[in-house]
Amino acid sequence: MNKKLGLAVAGALVAFSSAANAGITIPAGDWTVDIGGNVNAYYTHTTNSGTRAGATTNTIQTGLLPTALAIGAKTRQNDLDVAVQFSFWTGINAASGDNLNGTGASNGGLGYSSLNIRQSFLSFGDASWGTIKAGRDLGVFGSDAILSDMTLLGVGSNAGNTGSSTLGRIGSGYLYADWLAQIQYQTPNFNGFQATVAVQEALGQTSNEDLGFAGKLTYDFAANDVTGRVWVGGVTTKRSMTYGTNATSAQTATDTFTADAYEVGAKVAYQGAELVGYYYDGQNFDAGVGQFPATAWGGTSAAAATADVKNSGGYVQGTFKLPGVGTKLGASWGVNNIAAASREAWIVGAYHPLTKHLNLVAEYSNVQSESRAAGSPTNTANVGSLGAILFF
């Protein structure tokens, strides 16, 4: 368990999403306490051409994964596996408006990045009938897409922002699974088949009238040196949009829309090589960068902004681990399409395990953002990054 956490970031994020499966194990009476996490930092350099021509950013920041500390505990009681999990996430660079002197720009002694408690859940169950999880955890829909993304080890396509994450391939290949309040049930493993369903918090609502629903079916297989996973999933929810009803927006109204999506993906590995393919399709889910739309819009028609806006996209990725040295080389392409825009990215990277817990990372991304409005040119961002990520 400990070695897997140190060798692969995807395994680490799965560990954060599974109660009490971290790096440092401490017996405590009836319980086993696990502590784990990661620390990472990257230098990033971004140049732009097109709508943001001439804009250049240089940052030292966390990558796709914010720095994290995860604390979990598990026990076996009354024929039940019982567990609890908490994880605390933060960035290392300045976060606007989040500092002691209130300037919105400090990252020195009076500045700090916000602390985000992304996980706080309990779980109980048994291998014979499945597991129930209640609390806040990674969403079901889109979780395999992000867990399979090679840029979990690095930066991806959105460097230069002031938040705690560079987003990786979120918004240029898949929709963000997010960390949601939910009640989830996962079936036992039936010869590789497993189903997961969840009733979850519905994002993008102004009144919390409706809940969201998500589910997926996975199949894990292994034959000789070939291993892999195939999955299908779906999500549906209601979202609301408040908009102005006149030119000055002095009066407002709120409309409710259905937001739903489905996904299909597969990955297969053979002797150090791995291929991933993923596709999603839906409506009213993507605000333009793979994240759920907000509830307010400055225009005078909610229909023009959100109603029946089609979303689709996906990514393909290939990686190969060099025999002996263990360096993983990877390349991927992906795109998110919405009615008015698209965001496409090519990413190449090298991920070298300096130790079983410490990886050195170098990446390059070419990101093209296109608005389909008349007279709106594209913007192309070229992103280079270099840094390290440590798991414990």
**Average pLDDT for the chain:** 85
Kindly report, residue by residue over 164-221, the tens digit of the pLDDT: 789 999 999 999 999 999 999 999 999 999 999 999 988 877 777 889 999 999 999 9
| Run of H or E residues at 302 | helix 302-305
Q: Which amino acid is at 1?
A: M
Kindly report, residue by residue over 27-69, the tens digit of the pLDDT: 999 999 999 999 999 999 999 988 777 789 898 999 999 999 9
Q: Where are the alpha helices (DSSP H) in the chain?
A: 2-7, 9-17, 143-147, 302-305
The tokens 């705690």 sit on which residue? Answer: 164
Q: CATH code at 102?
A: 2.40.160.10
Of residues 193 and 371, more confidence is placed in 193
Least confident span in 283-287, 304-308, 319-323: 304-308
Range of the domain at 173: 2-391
The tokens 């070298």 sit on which residue? Answer: 352
> Is residue 225 very low, low, confident or very high in pLDDT (cuts 50, 70, 90)?
very high
* Structure tokens that stand for 318 in this block: 């290939």
Domain count, the chain: 1
CA distances to 85, 87, 95, 140 from 136, rounded to whole Å, are 9, 10, 23, 12
Contact 264, 218 (CB under 8 A): no
The tokens 């629903």 sit on which residue? Answer: 213
The beta strand positions in 91-146, using DSSP E, are 116-126, 130-138
Cα gap 381→55, rounded to integer Å: 9
Of residues 6 and 382, more confidence is placed in 382
Q: What is the pTM of this model?
A: 0.89
Least confident span in 11-15, 85-89, 146-150: 11-15
* pLDDT at residue 377, rounded to an integer: 72
Cα gap 96→290, rounded to integer Å: 21
Query: What distance lies between CA 156 and its chain's CA centroid?
Result: 12
DSSP, res 168: B
> Is residue 7 very low, low, confident or very high in pLDDT (cuts 50, 70, 90)?
very low
